[in-house]
């Protein structure tokens, strides 16, 4: 049995949500608590071992013990980021432990010294073996089976990696994929057997036959509420349940169906048995044919070491011959054994790749940072699976290789011979020439968050930007000298929630710049690295800073960004300057990488993700049916009250005409704005905290009682549509008003949290009793404030227009909204003038605005309470603060394991780009560590336009352009050039939105412009000087074939100015 804690044992363990915030959206609280009860032993602290230790310590296991009697060698420095040249000869575990212990104050790190097998291994829930002998692996595997500990054996040997998992005879997986259980809104249930349930056409139910679902909130056929049943799927919107509803009450409206995720039990084979009977092997889906050969190759490696008492020498052909012979012995033995047992298995039919055996021997020395990071992500996640029961484990082997990154033909033994350098592992794989070329690279890293930290670590260990050799290049007409460097930019400062996955940062760095702190941290890993830190946003407005000279000095750009807009802008820069772009990103346990090579692959923006889902306005305002709807509504209310209103008030308080100018630009919203300003600065302006509490109570009445009463008055429950169907059906859930109760915790939470933020807006002190937020004291004090308040009685009005469709909602007149008050039109200008005259004279102090911060608990309490009250109005399942923060804050789930993996994968692509590998050898990756799934595919080529130029086909892509290097070329000379080179006549030439030339201009203007050089022409037409540092002008042209007069689509024109 695997030693995982029963669910009830971990329920009450506290979790630091501030630290693990982003990770909790991946793992969940239950899994996090299980991890916090798990003791882990890591045996082997080479580059892979330290990556695994880092990832699981950041994740928050109970404790980590380290064992490694091996001394530090030069090979270790290529991937083990906590070792230096001064540590050579010392114990890898002892040197690493103090630095690993800094990663997480909740995870104690200890060292197990001496003979491993003399220690009590039963105290560990998970044991990880790395860089160990086969004999030790077999012994520890047997002990783990005996003690019920989960076992993971992992290795990186040069260009190859493997993982083996054994979590016992019966291991429970509580959530196989981590995906949110599908949930849909019901629109119809039939009577009969089996009953057929139909869901909203807007969303597929995403169920499979055999899934178990729960039914709830059904009106009419209430007998089904609370039932859990298996479904049989009919189509994407209908399924059957095995219940006879003939005698049930007729279905009226509403209801939800939600899939129930059930735990599954899986079994594992012991290590000794799996060696010869590996079963199905997990690997890159595009390289499955290599897995059997790699399984044999790893076995051959350990046999080689046992016989020769050493590892194969990098590049040595004689060792390769011995190694291949051993591999053949293994294959022969296994096949004979299977024939003897008269069983036909997969081994019998496998076709082994002879070249893999040879390349394995030649390239199995050393361990480099990118592979260590990749495999460290895989192994780290398997440790967390064993500790938590979250996600499906590897069953049972995983193999990985980077053969496509190696030289096409094996390098000579001399070229790959180590030289007692920290880069020896790279030399043994890629040779001296490529290894040392890394040091001269000039890299631009955009983003210094989680992926950025991992990339910088890899760069330091690879030697990227570490060279002292200077090179000359021309800049602004001068010859300048430059050397390898890494430029990193990030506007953000470090927050507590960053510390669980951005491993270069510590608590002492909170509020420091990410770019600067990360750059300084990696200098401790490799003092030779040259980093330059910026806090400037890479955007159109910073093009004078990150200018032509800057981009033209770069060799490659890496992105470590968290939004599509920024990625697309970087892509455009790389497209223009013809710079390789290496992109990576994560979403929880999922990760991706993309390699972009000028002229070879499509650029990043060539394919777009679907736009982010948005909710219809009328759904948010009047007809929510999901918690996402109520949270979005709460966010918008928060921004109106605590951001927009204070900003509008401050514009008025500044005096002058700025406020009236602002009003004039707001069209039909100006009356709304003035009404809010009048209320905020007039009679509604609070003087004491009591006033804030009273104001919050009145907002409760307005939002959750009066508006709902008005809605139901306008649309009674029995209302029918023009077609005779119920108005309140389908996606429209009928609400009910909430009557305030001081004994309801949610009601008082809204009052207190809103009052506290309103007090901050007006700089009013908050009494200590409310700051402490105890269960009773704050409520009792608030009740005293409210005891004398008489809440006005609300009476619904006739004639109030409430939009019921998206089109009506967009065109809604703000003065005709439901919520109290009669219908009727308002003279907006007259009303605005009246309010302006009633406002107090502008004066200080200004009001405080509260920019929404999802990590601020005081703000999230307001949003959560507001959202849950509206959810309660509409009988929608409420969400706690943690879930609300994730949805309202649009938090991207993140975990260190996936981050490490993608950083390794994308750095391996850098090595291919530098070798100018053909497109078929490049790889875009997608992984899902939860499943687990690993897949890679070659990048798509650029999309080409084909036109006819001078009678011949002319192909061009987004990477192409027409370059003009003569800065003095005139318009007339350009027209001649286009005719001679491309056989086209110029029809139109433009710069941005300005037309410089068109054949329909009047002849006089054309004649004037023909003799002008293009730069002067651009300045004249745009009436704006070209900045002196700008090296290029971009021109768009429309041209026609000179003979046929057919339009010919050509790429843009780039004019070089200097």
Segment 331-365, tens digit of pLDDT: 988 778 767 765 554 444 577 888 999 999 999 99
Model pLDDT, residue 346: 47
Is the preceding peptide bond at 189 cis, omega within 30 degrees of 0? no
Dist. CA 795–CA 713, nearest whole Å: 10
Dist. CA 226–CA 214, nearest whole Å: 6
Q: Residue 148: left if φ>0, alpha if ψ -120 to 50, beta else—which one?
A: left
pLDDT band at 779 (very low <50, low <70, confident <90, very high): confident
Nearest to 367 by CA among 466, 503, 462: 462
Mean pLDDT across the stretch 108-126? 96
pLDDT band at 1 (very low <50, low <70, confident <90, very high): very low
What are the tokens at 313?
């020498």
Dist. CA 222–CA 238, nearest whole Å: 19
What H or E segment, with its residue span, contains residue 866? helix 857-873
Backbone angles phi, psi at 751, to 5 degrees: -60, -50
Catalytic amino acids?
618
Dihedral sign of CA atoms 363, 366, 372, 378 in order: positive
Model pLDDT, residue 9: 44
Dist. CA 31–CA 568, nearest whole Å: 36
DSSP state, residue 355: H
Return the percent helix, strand and coil in the chain, to nearest 5: 40, 20, 40
Model pLDDT, residue 479: 53
pLDDT above 80 for 384: yes
Nearest to 266 by CA among 391, 137, 125: 391
Which spans in 408-505 are helix H?
424-437, 450-462
Mean pLDDT across the stretch 273-290? 92
Coil, strand or helix at 679: helix
Dist. CA 933–CA 938, nearest whole Å: 17
What H or E segment, with its residue span, contains residue 237? none
CA 880, 884, 886: angle at the middle one, nearest 5? Answer: 125
Q: Which of 86-100, 711-725, 773-787 shows the lowest mean pLDDT across its residues?
A: 773-787
- 698 or 799, greater pLDDT: 698
Nearest to 941 by CA among 955, 927, 962: 955
- 46 or 663, greater pLDDT: 46
Asked if 956 and 924 touch (Cβ cutoff 8 Å), the reply is no
Q: Residue written as tokens 């209320």?
A: 679
Dist. CA 570–CA 750, nearest whole Å: 43
Q: What is the pTM of this model?
A: 0.93
pLDDT band at 608 (very low <50, low <70, confident <90, very high): confident
DSSP state, residue 308: H
CB neighbour list of residue 241: distance below 8 Å, 6 or more residues apart: 194, 195, 197, 213, 229, 230, 231, 232
Q: 822 to each of 455, 799, 825, 830, how far by Cα in Å?
A: 62, 7, 9, 18
Model pLDDT, residue 7: 43
Residues facing 215 on adjacent strands: 257
Dist. CA 183–CA 231, nearest whole Å: 14
Mean pLDDT across the stretch 758-780? 84
Coil, strand or helix at 356: helix
Dihedral sign of CA atoms 143, 146, 147, 151 in order: positive
Nearest to 585 by CA among 458, 383, 446, 490: 446
What are the tokens at 328?
């053949």
pLDDT above 60 for 499: yes
pLDDT above 90 for 816: no
Indicate the pairing of strand 962-964 with strand 63-67. Answer: unpaired
Dist. CA 339–CA 328, nearest whole Å: 17
Nearest to 323 by CA among 358, 354, 295: 358
Dist. CA 370–CA 387, nearest whole Å: 26
Asked if 403 and 356 touch (Cβ cutoff 8 Å), the reply is yes
Backbone angles phi, psi at 64, to 5 degrees: -130, 125
What are the tokens at 123?
């105290």
Residue 702 CB-half CA count within 13 A: 13
pLDDT tens digits, residue range 1016-1029? 999 999 999 999 88
Backbone angles phi, psi at 578, to 5 degrees: 55, 55
Residue-wise over 878-904: b if at least 16 C-beta within 10 A, else e?
bbebbebbbbbbebebbbbbbbbbbbb
Dist. CA 904–CA 376, nearest whole Å: 9
Q: 696 to each of 57, 675, 770, how far by Cα in Å?
A: 44, 18, 14
pLDDT tens digits, residue range 856-907? 999 999 999 999 999 999 999 999 999 999 999 999 999 999 999 999 999 9
Q: Which of 560-574, 819-833, 976-990 shows the lowest mean pLDDT across its residues?
A: 819-833
- How many beta carbons lie within 10 A of that of residue 986, not counting itself? 20
Model pLDDT, residue 922: 98
What H or E segment, with its residue span, contains residue 155? strand 150-157
Q: Which of 185-194, 473-482, 751-760 shows the lowest mean pLDDT across its residues?
A: 473-482
For the chain, give the percent of residues with pLDDT over 90: 84
What are the tokens at 221?
């056929």
pLDDT band at 6 (very low <50, low <70, confident <90, very high): very low
Residue-wise over 905-915: b if at least 16 C-beta within 10 A, else e?
bbbbbbbbbbb
Mean pLDDT across the stretch 999-1010? 93
Q: Which of 336-345, 629-638, 823-832 shows the lowest mean pLDDT across its residues?
A: 336-345
pLDDT above 50 for 437: yes
Q: In the sheet that 228-230 helps form, which strands lie side by side, from edge to edge?
A: 228-230, 212-216, 256-259, 183-189, 195-199, 238-241, 232-235
Model pLDDT, residue 92: 97
Nearest to 165 by CA among 67, 65, 268, 64: 268
Q: What is the total residue count of the chain?
A: 1058
Asked if 625 and 729 touch (Cβ cutoff 8 Å), the reply is no
Dihedral sign of CA atoms 768, 772, 777, 783 in order: positive
Nearest to 925 by CA among 940, 938, 942, 914: 938
Model pLDDT, residue 473: 58
Dist. CA 1012–CA 679, nearest whole Å: 61
pLDDT tens digits, residue range 646-684? 999 999 998 878 788 888 877 668 888 999 999 999 988
pLDDT band at 1058 (very low <50, low <70, confident <90, very high): confident
What H or E segment, with its residue span, contains residue 860? helix 857-873
For the chain, give the percent of residues with pLDDT over 70: 94
Residue 542 CB-half CA count within 13 A: 17
């Amino acid at each position: 049995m695997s030693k995982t804690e029963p669910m009830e044992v971990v329920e009450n363990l506290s979790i630091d949500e501030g630290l693990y915030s982003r990770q909790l959206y991946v793992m969940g609280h239950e899994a996090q608590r299980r991890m916090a009860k798990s003791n882990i032993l890591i045996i082997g602290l080479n580059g892979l071992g330290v990556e695994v230790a880092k990832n699981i310590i950041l994740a928050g296991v109970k404790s980590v013990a380290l064992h490694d009697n091996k001394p530090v060698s030069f090979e270790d420095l290529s991937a083990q980021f906590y070792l230096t040249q001064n540590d050579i000869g010392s114990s890898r575990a002892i040197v690493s432990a103090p630095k690993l212990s800094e990663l997480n104050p909740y995870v104690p790190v200890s060292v197990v010294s001496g003979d491993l097998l003399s220690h009590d291994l039963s105290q560990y829930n998970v044991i990880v073996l790395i860089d160990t002998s086969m004999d030790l692996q077999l012994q520890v595997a047997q002990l783990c089976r005996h003690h019920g500990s989960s076992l993971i054996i992992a290795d990186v040997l040069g260009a190859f990696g493997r993982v083996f998992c054994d979590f016992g005879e019966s291991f429970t997986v509580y959530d196989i994929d981590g995906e949110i259980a599908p949930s849909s809104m019901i629109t119809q249930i039939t009577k009969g057997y089996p009953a057929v349930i139909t869901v909203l056409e807007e969303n597929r139910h995403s169920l499979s036959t055999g899934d178990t679902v729960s039914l709830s909130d059904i009106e009419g056929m209430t007998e089904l509420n609370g039932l859990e049943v298996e479904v049989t799927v009919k189509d994407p919107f209908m399924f059957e349940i095995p219940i006879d509803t003939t005698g049930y009450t007729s279905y009226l409206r509403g209801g939800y169906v939600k899939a129930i995720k059930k735990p599954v039990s899986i079994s594992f084979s012991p290590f000794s048995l799996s060696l010869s009977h590996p079963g199905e092997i997990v690997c890159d889906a595009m390289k499955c044919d290599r897995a059997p050969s790699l399984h044999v190759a790893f076995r051959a490696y350990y046999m080689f070491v046992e016989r020769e008492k050493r590892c194969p020498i990098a590049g040595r052909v004689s060792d390769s011959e011995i190694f291949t012979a051993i591999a053949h012995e293994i294959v022969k033995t296994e096949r004979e054994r299977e024939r003897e047992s008269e069983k036909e298995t997969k081994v019998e039919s496998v076709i082994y790749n002879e070249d893999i055996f040879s390349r394995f021997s030649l390239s199995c020395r050393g361990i480099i940072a990118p592979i260590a990071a990749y495999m460290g992500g895989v192994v780290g996640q398997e440790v967390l699976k064993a500790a938590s029961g979250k996600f499906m484990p590897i069953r049972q082997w995983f193999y990985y290789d980077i053969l496509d990154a190696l030289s096409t033909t094996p390098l000579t033994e001399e070229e790959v011979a180590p030289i007692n350098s920290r880069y020896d592992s790279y030399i043994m794989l890629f040779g001296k020439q490529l290894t040392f070329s890394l040091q001269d690279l000039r890299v631009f890293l955009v983003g210094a968050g989680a992926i950025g930290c991992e990339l910088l670590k890899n760069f330091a260990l690879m030697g990227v930007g570490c060279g002292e050799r200077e090179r000359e290049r021309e800049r602004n007409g001068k010859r300048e000298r430059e050397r390898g460097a890494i430029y990193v930019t990030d506007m953000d400062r470090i927050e507590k929630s960053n510390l669980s996955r951005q491993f270069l940062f510590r608590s002492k760095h909170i509020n420091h710049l990410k770019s600067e702190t990360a750059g300084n941290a990696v200098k401790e890993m490799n003092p030779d690295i040259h980093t330059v830190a910026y806090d400037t946003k890479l955007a159109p407005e910073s093009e004078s800073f990150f200018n032509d000279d800057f981009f033209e000095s770069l060799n490659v750009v890496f992105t470590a960004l968290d939004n599509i807009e920024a990625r697309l802008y970087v892509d455009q820069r790389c497209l223009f300057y013809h710079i390789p772009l290496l992109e990576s990103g994560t979403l929880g346990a999922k990760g991706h990488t993309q390699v972009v090579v000028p002229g070879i692959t499509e650029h990043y923006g060539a394919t777009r993700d679907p736009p982010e889902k948005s909710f219809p306005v009328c759904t948010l305002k009047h007809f929510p049916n999901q918690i996402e709807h109520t949270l979005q509504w709460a966010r918008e209310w928060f921004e109106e009250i605590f951001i927009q209103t204070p900003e509008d008030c401050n514009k008025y308080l500044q005096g002058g005409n700025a406020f009236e100018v602002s009003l004039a630009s707001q069209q039909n919203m100006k009356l709304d704005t003035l009404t809010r300003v009048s209320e905020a600065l007039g009679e509604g302006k609070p003087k004491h905290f009591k006033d804030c509490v009273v104001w919050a109570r009145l907002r409760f009445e307005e939002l959750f009682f009066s508006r709902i009463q008005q809605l139901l008055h306008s649309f009674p429950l029995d209302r029918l549509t023009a077609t005779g169907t119920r108005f309140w059906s389908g996606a429209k859930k009928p609400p009910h008003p909430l009557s305030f109760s001081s004994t309801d915790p949610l009601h008082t939470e809204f009052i207190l949290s809103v009052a506290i933020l309103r007090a901050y807006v007006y700089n009013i002190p908050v009494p200590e009793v409310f700051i402490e937020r105890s269960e009773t004291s704050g409520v009792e004090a608030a009740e005293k404030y409210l005891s004398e308040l008489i809440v006005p009685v609300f009476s619904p009005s006739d004639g109030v227009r409430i939009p019921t469709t998206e089109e009506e909602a967009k065109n809604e007149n703000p003065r005709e909204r439901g919520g109290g008050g009669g219908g009727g039109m308002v003279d907006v200008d007259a009303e605005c003038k009246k309010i302006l005259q009633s406002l107090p004279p502008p004066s200080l102090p200004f009001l405080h605005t509260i920019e929404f911060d999802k990590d601020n608990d005081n703000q999230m309490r307001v949003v959560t309470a507001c959202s849950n009250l509206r959810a309660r109005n509409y009988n929608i399942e409420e969400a706690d603060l943690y879930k609300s923060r994730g949805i309202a804050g649009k938090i991207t789930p993140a975990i260190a394991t996936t981050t490490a993996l993608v950083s390794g994968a994308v750095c391996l692509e850098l090595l291919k780009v530098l070798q100018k590998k053909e497109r078929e050898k490049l790889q875009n990756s997608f992984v899902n560590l939860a499943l687990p799934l690993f897949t890679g595919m070659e990048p798509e080529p650029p999309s080409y336009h084909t036109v006819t130029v001078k009678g011949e086909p002319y192909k061009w892509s987004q990477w192409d352009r027409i370059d003009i290097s003569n800065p003095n070329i005139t318009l007339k000379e350009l027209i001649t050039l286009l005719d001679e080179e491309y056989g086209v006549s110029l029809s139109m030439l433009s710069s941005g939105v300005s037309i410089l030339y068109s054949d329909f201009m009047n002849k006089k203007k054309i004649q004037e412009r023909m003799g002008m050089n293009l730069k002067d022409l651009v300045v004249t037409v745009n009436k704006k000087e070209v900045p002196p540092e700008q090296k290029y002008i971009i021109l768009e042209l429309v041209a026609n074939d000179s003979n046929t007069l057919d339009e010919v689509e050509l790429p843009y024109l780039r004019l070089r100015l200097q």
